[in-house]
Structures are given as structure tokens and as C-alpha cells.
Structure 1
Amino acid sequence: MSSGPQSTSPTSSGARTDDPAPRATVFSGGTVWCGTGLPDSDALAVVDGRVVALGAEAHGWPGPRDDVDLAGGLLSPAFGDGHVHPHSGGITRQGPAITGLRSVADVVAEVGRWADAHPDAAWVVGNRYDPTLAPAGEFDARWLDEAVPDRPVVLHASDHHTVWCNSEALRRGGVDASTVDPEVGWVVRRDDGTPLGTLREWDACDLVLRHVPETSEADRVRALREATAALAAAGITWAQDAWVDPDLVPVYLRAVSEGALSVRVDLAQRADPASWREQVASFARVRADVEALGDDLLSARTVKVFVDGVVEGGTATLLEPYEDVDPGSPQAHGMPVWRPEELAAAVAAFDAAGFRLHLHVIGDAAVRQGLDVLAALPPADRRAVLAHVQLVDPADLPRFAATGTIANIEPLWAAWDDMQTELTAPRLGPERTGRQYPVASLLAAGARLSFGSDWPVSSHVPLEGVQVVVTRVPLEDPAAETWVPGERVGVEEALVAYTAGVAYQAGAEHERGTLVPGAVADLVHLSADPRAVDPLEIAATAVLGTWLAGRRTS
């Protein structure tokens, strides 16, 4: 039996031979990449949202048809995003435009401009400032006071694990010299103990964020509408929302009822170390409510668990101490989010309740801890994910395949940038710096791989991620030196991680991720074949159209 895609005739499903063929959409005039391990074709036909024919049978479709000219480009399985934050991506567009600004002065000026243009806004909330703009990523409240002294300002760093506040925001949060650091996170302080203006990790950030007025539900639905439209325009048809708190669930439910979603979204509800026991039942109720909608665009099958923080903030957990921290300090190895026994118990409970597990792990100690708790579970095809896996001890590479664990990597991070220069490399030291994002090593060790963006932390465009992970060169500096060249992967391997890899993560590999007769017609039309262009020009390839189950979404 051939292992390649099989064509089907319009009568192969058992219909009478004299029945008229249904109306098809036929794609031709370019290359059809059918996906991992399958030969290319030159035409594809879709009926009722599914692939029905390839090659000659698609060309010769006997019934009514609508033709799509590929214009010499590539038709591919649509992309997925295995780790993204659509709501945050949409909300980011509604505040001060601080993303990409290259100095503290520019950020402060934009915050002041936005505040002046929105005098009725009780709080000024912005997203994605560059944490490398201040030494050690520590930002002073007084810098923001110069622009907005009379209203609270809170800005999220691009890693979304740190916030920068002005003095009024600190005052509203009751953060002062007497504030005790919470269990998860800390207040960055001046020498005299007063808060500087930078808060690290959630419990510390929440000292201020819990006082921010809620965004209206209508604005939040608009954020999802705009964000999922942007994902669809990038060629994406499925996304793992990797951080869903209870207040976001009704927003998604309303978005579905209003037809606001342009991609399928699976919700990963966030487990809280302080309340996870109660969450087992409440998360199951949310899952049931979403399933009751009966809409293919929304599911709630996953639980998100933060195991550690981020290297640039010194909160990722490491097997050996940080280079820039006193080895005797409580923060020398980072900041574990959970006590080990609680993490193991929580993971076991959510697994027993039928949830997929999606664990944020950045440091090598967190990766090991994640693998340990998954290895302790009963054998099952659970599609558990370790997300980010920035630093992996070489001894742990084979354990991904051994435990059936998916490594979800954000490929845009696999190039040298200012974050590495200013914050990451000084904290890791040379040896560990050269072991980051071991994509090729994971593949060589037999690991299942899926790709994501972590948008709005970084760009949501998959073709940008493909270029970076293939070249290990930053998009903004194509003449830069290749970083860790041994961890480069081939273009097709990168495309597979964005297509079949994410489909496998979603438990949908028999439906999506490859183009064979019977598969759901999730498709993306590219202006060129990324496998055939200069690797440093892959990101310039245009997305000319996206189809979700045969319905055009972009």
C-alpha cells in the first residue's frame, strides 16, 4: 500500500455513480505541499470543508467548481500556534504604543502622549516595553512620574512577567517600604528599601494590577476579534490560548456567540498554587460549558501550569546558580512557583480529571521538574506539553520521547538579540548561553516538537519563526553571526512543527496538519515555497489566503 496521499473519486464514498458531483473548490497553478513525509502535488480539491482529491483527479473534477489560482505559490496545511495569548495580543493594541521603542525617554513620551489624548482614562495601561532599556531590567517609577504624575501608570514588560509602575500606581497598590515580598515574586527596591517601580512575577505584579479597572467586556471581545483576525491573516487556524483566568471565559463565550473568532482556540485555564484543589472542579465546569456550545471554534481541554519564571528576570529555575547572584542568596537558583509536592499533586489531579497539561518551563531545573512530574503519571497518550524549554540539561533531552512529552518552542527566540546581550547571557554565563533553545537536539533525541509565538511577547507570524529557527539569525539583522549553528533545523522540519506538530498537540493529527483526502481543509496559500527561497528571505513570503475547514478567513 502506498504511504502517499490517495486521490478519491467523487463516487468513492458509496454514492451512486449517476449522482452529480458536488461543488468543489479546486486549487491549482502552483505546488501543494501535503505535509510531513508526503509527496507534493500540483492540485487539490475541497468539498464541504474537506480535501476530496489531489493531482489529476482534482484537476479533472467532474462537477461544478470554483478555482483558486495559486499563481506559482505554495498551498500548505494551515499553521497552528501552540502557545499564544490572543486576548493580550488584542488588548495590546488599545493602549500606549510602546512596543519596539528604543529608549526609556521614548517610552515615557508615548505614555504621556497617550495620557493626554485620553484624559478620561482612570489608569494608563501599556504593554510590551523592552526590559533591556534599563540596567538589569529595573525601571524607576519617577521616570513615568515625569509624564503622568497624577494618574496611575502600569506597563507590562515584553516578557509579561514584570511590570513598571509610576508612584501613583504603587500608592494605589499600597506598595511601600513596609510591603513584604509575596511568595511568588518580589518588589525591586532602592537601597533605602523603598520600591523602585519594578515588580517581578505575578503575586508582586498583582499588588498593583488588582486595582486596575476592568476593561469592558465589549472591548475585550473586540480584542479577541482583532487578534484572531491577525492570526488568520498570518495563516493560522488553531491556537492554544496559554493563560486563561476565570474572567476571560465569559469573554470567549460571548465572542463565539457574536462570531468574533477567526481561528479555533483551545483555552488553557491557569492553575493557581493557592487554589488548585478547588479549580479541578471549576475548570471541569468551564470545559462542560464550552462543550455545550457545540462550536468547533472553542474548546477548554487544557490546564496551564507555571513551573518557573524567566531568565531575564532571574526567576527561571536553574540547576546551577545564576552567574550574577550570590550563590548563597535565596534567589540564586531562581524562583520556583510551586512546592514540589504540590506541583506533583496538582498535575496528577488535573490529569485524572481528563485535562491536557501545558507546563511553562524556562530553566533547566524547571524542565527537569516538569519531566519528573509527568513521568510519575500512569502511562497514557496525554499530549502533555512543556512550553518554551529555553535551557535543557543534555541528560534530559531523551526524556521527552521517553515520557511522550511535546516540546513547544517559540522559534523567534532562537537568535541573538539585545535581551541576550543585556540580561540573559550575563545571568547564564557562556556555557549555558550556548545551550539555549536546543531545537535540533530535541528532534535528534526523538522529541515531538510544536512551535508557537507567545504573542504578544513576540510576533505571531509563523513564517518569521521559520526563518529564525532555520538560520538562527535575528530578523532585524540578517548579516549577524549565526547563533548556535548546530541547533538549526531544515525548512521542512520547521514547517512540520508549525503544522502537523501543533495538530498533534491539539489531538487532531488525524484531521489536520497534513493534506490527504478526508482531511479537514485547513489551508494557507503562500506567495512562494519557503523550501525554495533564500532562507534569509523566508519571512518576506506573503500569506495570500487562509481557509478554515474550507471557509476563507483571510
Structure 2
Amino acid sequence: MSRTLFRNGTIWTGTGHTVTALTVRDGRIEAVGAEALAAQPDADQVVDLEGGLLLPAFGDGHCHPDHAGFEAMGPGIRDRASVEEIVEAVREYALAHPEDEWIIGASYDSTLAPDGVFDARWLDAAVPDRPVVLRAWDYHTVWCNTEAMRRSGVDAATPDTERGRFARRADGEPLGTMYEWDAVEAVLRAAPARTTEDLVRALQIATEAYAAAGVTWIQDAWVEHASVDAYVEAARRGVLATRVNLGLRADPERWREQLAEFAADRERVRALGDERLTANTVKFFVDGILENRTASLLAPYSDDPCTRGMPVWPYEELVEAFTAVDALGLQAHLHAIGDAGVRAALDAVEHVTRVNGPRDRRPVIAHVQLLDEVDLPRFARLGVIANLQPLWARTDAAMKELTFPRIGAGRAGRQYLIGSLLRAGVTVAFGSDWPVSDHRPLAGLPVAVTRENAEREPAGGWLPEERVSFDAALSAYTAGVAYQAFAEKERGLLVPGMAADLVWLDADIRLMDPHDIALRAAVRGTWMSGARIHPPSDRRSAQ
């Protein structure tokens, strides 16, 4: 049996203590501290931490790896700083890829156009003869050119629906910006479907990026039935660099027929016998986002008193679907942004618990952006895990230019209440929502601790009472995510008997200026069950 000794650094165990040595034997932590050092003569391998920090590998409790992989494969528009730069990137991509029937990319910055509204004619100037569809960074919005609308049959007669809205010109013609499910799908369903090969390649790109960031488990929070084939194929080929749990999306229009699909997909994945792939979760989108005025609010939007948002599900249908999914033994993962959306999600959990009876269900409410004070204690009482994206808890351009005007000053102070949730005894698990925001925990940690943006503003942090300690932030990325994954007895702490999921950083980030962490700290190595997955040794090809 092989033994690896890690020494000559600081080892953060997640238990409130640090040690200076740790041994791993056959994929599990064997000993820590003095007992580990005593085993040095019998070690088959010694990893010199060179003064760095070893800690439990990170998890990501909410992300979209296929979307992230496709971003890397499509036109590069995420970092473009103006509409003109985006259009030029699309033009260059189109010239370089004449074989692409449709040009599909992401993620543009919605703050680059007034009120987040983009015109099809801007893209027409670059590509007039092929459809172009770009997703915004929020993935609830698309911007397309005129040819994309023509081929999808979207015109002045295409109506808005309860689950989708079109920005329009004065004459009623669609402008080229579409919001939420029905409007977005009106365009995207006309595009050629992604092939299994494309999806496998995207998953390989994304999971390798996660391994490089020190992450060994991720929750894909939006998986369509057709994408399960690609995941199974990726697992079969051995190209998933990390563990992935699939969150199969429940569709309000066909959830009843999906129940059999959910059960079959779970069993199909189980039959693989590969610990890197599970399908134990169903995703419910309860509402939209604040920036589009589609998040569901208890009171009207401050800049549009005629709307309170766009619930994705009628409440009665939500609880019926949730109850049926729960009866299958699947975990619910609910997207809820607005305070009414969060309340509906909590109400649904309470209903399901009452109807189906007690069990260890660990429902997850993701994002929890706007939280009414009376609902805060319900999380702990109902056993709900709050999955939050710490990178969003800052006053960036989107917050200042889009969010604050939508909800007003009073409600602005009820956003991302991470500290309050922890003080209320809630299990908090961190995620990135990648590619919506940076997938690296080393980018999210500083914001959770400081609540300051990249310019170190506001001094002392936005809503400083919601800052959390460094240890609490690390725990939300490690033990918190492990608990969300029903794996708290396997991962999240560095104690004997646990799986050796480890990340080695080149410096003790707890001692650094938090703002320097994302720029200066680096992941030196990532291990999953004792096997080093970053840097990769013999990673197989998706091809």
C-alpha cells in the first residue's frame, strides 16, 4: 500500500486547527500532525509544500460547465469592453469559421448598452448573412442579429409570454434582445443542436479548468435530458477531470413526463459505477434575475411599478412537481433571486416536508440574492442549504447600473446576507455560477471576506456586517459544499479516514491581503482520492 507524506507547510484541516504534516495511504488520509511526521521513513513519496498551504479541495455548489466549455470554443466576447469590440470579435470569428452555419457565443456585459438593451443592427454590420446569437453573462438574456430572428420566425407578431419577453422598437418589431425562457428559446431552438462530440469536448475543457483551480466536485445546475448522453460518454472515455453531479432541469410544461426520464437518467449514471459522475439532483428555476426585472419580488420594481417580476412556475405547479421529484428520492436545487422567489422556494420546501414526511433531503436554494427578514430563520428550521456566489456580493458595474436602480436603496441592503445566514445556523455552500462569474474559489474568497470590489470600494465593505471570516469562507467552499453533496463523511475536512481530496497553494492565503489572493496565489497541485489531477499526468483526449 503506497503512502504519501505532505510536509514543510501549513495544513488547514477545516477543524479549527492547523498541522504541519499529513499522510495519505491508498486514497485516504491516514494521519495528521506528529503521527504523520513519524511515518516519514516509510513514505513512498514526499511532497514538499515549500511553505505553502494544503487544505481540503474546493467544491463548486452551482455552475454550468458545458456553457463554460462552449464559451472557450466560441467567439471570445467576455472581456470585450464595448459594443464595438464585441462586434469586431464576432466579425473576426465569422471570417475564421466560414463553415459555421450559426455563430453562437457568450458572455457579453449587459452594462455596455443603456438599460442592458442591445440592437440586432449592431451585429448585422459584422455578419448580415448568417445567424448570430450571443448570450449575456447572466444566461437569462440573448442578443441576436436580424438573420437569426428571420430564421427563427421571430417578428412583430411574435407575442411576449408569461415566461419570455422581447425588447421592441417603436413599431413593435423585435429589437434583438430577448429575456427569459420562451423568448430565448424562440431563437435558440432554430439553431443546430450541439453534437455529443462538442459537448464532451466542452466538459473536458471545463472540468480540467476546475481541477486547475483546486476543485474536485461540482454541481452542474442545468442539465437537459439530451445532455446526459454526453456526460455518460465523457465518463466512459475518462475525460471528466473532476466529480460532477447532474442537476436535471424540471420544465414547467412537461415535468410529468420528465419524472420517468429523471429516474432513468439517475439509474443509467449509477450503472456506470464511476464516482466522478452522479445524477442525484433536479433543478427548478423559480424566477429570473433582477437586472432583467424578471426576478420575483414581494413589492414592485422601483423603476417599473407595473411589474413584480416573472415567476417561472405557477406556485401550485411548482409544489406538485417538487413533491413528485422528492418522492423519487432526488434532491431539489432551486434557483431563487428575488425575495418573493426565495419565499416561494421556502414555501415549497415546507409543503414537501409536510406532505412527504421527514427524510434527509437537503434542499438547496441557490443565489438567495434578495432575502426578506422574516424568511431568514426559515432556512435553518427547514434544513435548507443556502448556495451563494460570493463574487456577487460587491458593488460592481452591474450592481450600480442595473441592480440598484431596479430595487431601490432599501432593498439593496437585503442582498447576499451571507453573514446573517451563517449566524442563523444555516449551512452555506459557495458556488460560482460559472460562466456567469469566475470559477476560481481564489477569486471568490476575497469578496466573501471583504465585501469590497476590485477597486477596494467601499472601504470596509458593502454591508460590512455580512462579511465572514476567512475560515468561514473556506469552510463554505469545502465542508459546506461537501454537505450539499451528501459527502460530509467523505470530504471537506482533513482528518484520518476521509478521502484525500486536497489542494496545495503556493502561499498561506490566510496571511495575505485578501485583494492580492486572486492575483498572486497559485494552485500548485490538486488531488482527488489521493490521485493527482492537476497538473495532469495522463489525461485522456475527448477525441
TM-score when normalising by structure 2: 0.96
Instruction: Verify: 1:553 aligned to 2:533, yes or no.
Output: yes
Equivalent pair of 2:211/2:242 in contact (CA under 8 Å):
yes
Q: Report what 2:500 is aligned to.
A: 521
C-alpha distance in 1, partners of 2:120/2:390? 33
As a proportion of its length, which structure holds more helix? 2
C-alpha distance in 1, partners of 2:386/2:203? 26
Q: Report what 1:530 is aligned to.
A: 509
Q: Which amino acid aligns with 1:303?
A: V
Q: Report what 1:15 is aligned to.
A: none
Of the three residues 420, 429, 436, the one matched with 1:450 is: 429
Q: Which amino acid aligns with 1:550?
A: G
Instruction: Verify: 1:57 aligned to 2:35, yes or no.
Output: yes
Secondary structure in 2 matching 1:238: strand
Q: Report what 1:250 is aligned to.
A: 229
Of the three residues 1, 22, 30, the one matched with 2:9 is: 30
Instruction: Verify: 1:439 aligned to 2:400, yes or no.
Output: no
C-alpha distance in 1, partners of 2:496/2:43? 19
Q: Which amino acid aligns with 2:336?
A: V
Shift of 1:180: 1.4
Instruction: Verify: 1:357 aligned to 2:332, yes or no.
Output: yes
Q: Report what 1:424 is aligned to.
A: 403
Instruction: Verify: 1:333 aligned to 2:308, yes or no.
Output: yes
C-alpha distance in 2, partners of 1:207/1:384? 31
Shift of 1:135: 1.1
Secondary structure in 2 matching 1:93: helix
C-alpha distance in 2, partners of 1:56/1:420? 49
Equivalent pair of 2:366/2:387 in contact (CA under 8 Å):
yes
Query: Could you report, residue by residue, the CA deviation over 1:346-398 in whole angstroms, capped at 9, with x for unpaired residues?
Result: 11110011000000000000000100110122232211100000000011111
- Any stretches of 5+ residues in structure 2 without a counterpart? 535-543
Equivalent pair of 1:84/1:239 in contact (CA under 8 Å):
yes
Q: Report what 2:64 is aligned to.
A: 85
Equivalent pair of 1:244/1:270 in contact (CA under 8 Å):
yes
C-alpha distance in 2, partners of 1:455/1:232? 14
Q: Report what 1:3 is aligned to.
A: none
Instruction: Verify: 1:226 aligned to 2:205, yes or no.
Output: yes
Q: Report what 1:399 is aligned to.
A: 378
C-alpha distance in 1, partners of 2:416/2:247? 23
Equivalent pair of 1:390/1:436 in contact (CA under 8 Å):
yes
Shift of 1:480: 4.7
C-alpha distance in 2, partners of 1:387/1:511? 23
Q: Which amino acid aligns with 1:547?
A: W
C-alpha distance in 2, partners of 1:60/1:299? 38
Equivalent pair of 1:491/1:530 in contact (CA under 8 Å):
no
Secondary structure in 1 matching 2:291: coil
Secondary structure in 2 matching 1:82: strand
Secondary structure in 1 matching 2:35: helix
Query: Could you report, residue by residue, the CA deviation over 1:80-118 in whole angstroms, capped at 9, with x for unpaired residues?
Result: 000011111111011111002111111111111111111
C-alpha distance in 1, partners of 2:184/2:152? 10
Secondary structure in 1 matching 2:482: helix
Q: Which amino acid aligns with 2:532?
A: R
Instruction: Verify: 1:139 aligned to 2:86, yes or no.
Output: no
Q: Report what 1:12 is aligned to.
A: none
Of the three residues 487, 494, 499, the one matched with 1:508 is: 487
Instruction: Verify: 1:42 aligned to 2:37, yes or no.
Output: no
Shift of 1:57: 1.9
C-alpha distance in 2, partners of 1:216/1:301? 24
C-alpha distance in 2, partners of 1:95/1:64? 46
C-alpha distance in 1, partners of 2:425/2:34? 36
C-alpha distance in 2, partners of 1:117/1:189? 32
Query: Could you report, residue by residue, the CA deviation over 1:165-201 in whole angstroms, capped at 9, with x for unpaired residues?
Result: 1000011111100111233111111111110000100
The aligned runs of 1:50-449 (5 Å cut-off) are: 50-61=28-39, 62-325=41-304, 327=305, 329=306, 332-376=307-351, 377=353, 378-449=357-428
C-alpha distance in 1, partners of 2:443/2:453? 10
C-alpha distance in 2, partners of 1:292/1:280? 19
Q: Report what 1:544 is aligned to.
A: 524
C-alpha distance in 1, partners of 2:287/2:371? 14
Equivalent pair of 2:62/2:221 in contact (CA under 8 Å):
yes
Equivalent pair of 2:131/2:148 in contact (CA under 8 Å):
yes
Q: Which amino acid aligns with 1:340?
A: Y
Equivalent pair of 1:125/1:155 in contact (CA under 8 Å):
yes
C-alpha distance in 2, partners of 1:218/1:94? 13
Secondary structure in 2 matching 1:101: coil
Equivalent pair of 2:490/2:498 in contact (CA under 8 Å):
yes
Equivalent pair of 1:23/1:63 in contact (CA under 8 Å):
no
C-alpha distance in 1, partners of 2:414/2:521? 30
